[in-house]
Amino acid sequence: MLTDMHVAVIGGDARQLEIIRKLSEHDAQLSLVGFDQLDDGFVGANKRTFDTIDPSTVDAIILPVSGMNDNGEIESIFSGEKTVLTEDWLKETKDNTVVYTGISNERLKIMVNESGRKLVELMERDDVAIYNSVPTAEGTVMMVIQNTEITIHNANVIVTGLGRVGMTVARTFQNLGANVELIANEPNLKARAFEMGMKCSTVNDLFSRAESADVVINTIPAPIISPKVLQRMPLHALVVDLASKPGGTDFRYAEKRGIKALLAPGLPGIVAPKTAGEIIASVLSNLLQEQWDVERGGK
């Protein structure tokens, strides 16, 4: 139980509601910032602003999956006001306060570091990424169906990268009958492709392999879907870029050539916010429990 643990939940989307619900069940004391338009009520949760919270009582801060932007603003679909976490406020929190976020950027890392606080990036964890790969794959299937005029069955699909998301996406499309080819350079990933019964080419070979592609799904956060690659792709081909912003596709050139290219980070929160929220809430509640046990001396 998280009884008496003060957790500030700041901004976010529908996934945050599952987090709030889970932490409420664990009896945490919740301060909700950026939720002034939220109608739902949760036991032990109160809508606040940074000005009405005593930061010296805060044990943990939970940011949305998207973290904050370069201006320090935290997105919230439940508020019409700007929500900004400042370094001055953060410095007034407890010395052992932990900041949890989905992803981070340089501004947030510097702010947390200079405040002497700890930062936990949930999307960097294998468990969260692997769980999230399931709704990501389902969302990718949805996008391909909506934006092509062919069946996935027997389509030529290239998946770039064979990480935690790429592996699930590749298997999903293979199970739907697509001819899946992987793009990866690392010997261990080539071995994994062999085990999965899929062809595997290197990044340098992508431009030649793209000639017969119906769908290209990118998971590599590097500019690999370049004009050179796009030039070789048939005009009916679809690019779905799952890499974090700005993605790995030259979207300007794709538009110029008439190839549909879609940037689709954060698919779990779009296609299955409840499931995606439950995934994060489950992992987060365990992390908070570990933190709280340490702070209370294992009591």
Residue 40's pLDDT band (cuts 50, 70, 90)? confident
Same domain assignment for residues 132 and 260 = yes
Asked if residue 243 and residue 136 are part of one domain, the reply reads: yes
Task: Dump pLDDT digits (tens) for 97-147.
Answer: 999 999 999 999 999 999 999 999 999 999 999 999 999 999 999 999 999
Supply the pLDDT for residue 130: 94
Both 177 and 139 in one domain: the answer is yes
Co-location of 118 and 47 in the same domain:
yes
Residue 84 has pLDDT above 80, yes or no: yes
- Asked if residue 256 belongs to a domain, the reply is yes
pTM summary value: 0.86
Write out the residue range of the structural domain in which residue 114 sits: 6-124+273-295
For residue 1, being part of any structural domain is answered with no
Q: Are residues 246 and 234 in the same domain?
A: yes
Contact 10, 50 (CB under 8 A): no
The amino acid at 293: D
Both 237 and 286 in one domain: the answer is no
Q: What is the CATH number of the domain that holds 177?
A: 3.40.50.720
> What is the side-by-side strand order in the sheet with 98-101?
45-48, 29-33, 6-10, 60-62, 98-101, 118-121
Based on the fold, state whether residues 157 and 256 are members of the same structural domain. Answer: yes
Instruction: Tell me: pLDDT of 299 over 70.
Output: no
What's the structural domain count of the chain? 2
Q: How many Cα atoms within 13 Å fall on the side-chain side of residue 291?
A: 25
> Do 261 and 132 reside in the same domain of the chain?
yes
Let me know whether 92 and 120 are in one domain: yes
Cβ contact 26:285 at 8 Å: yes
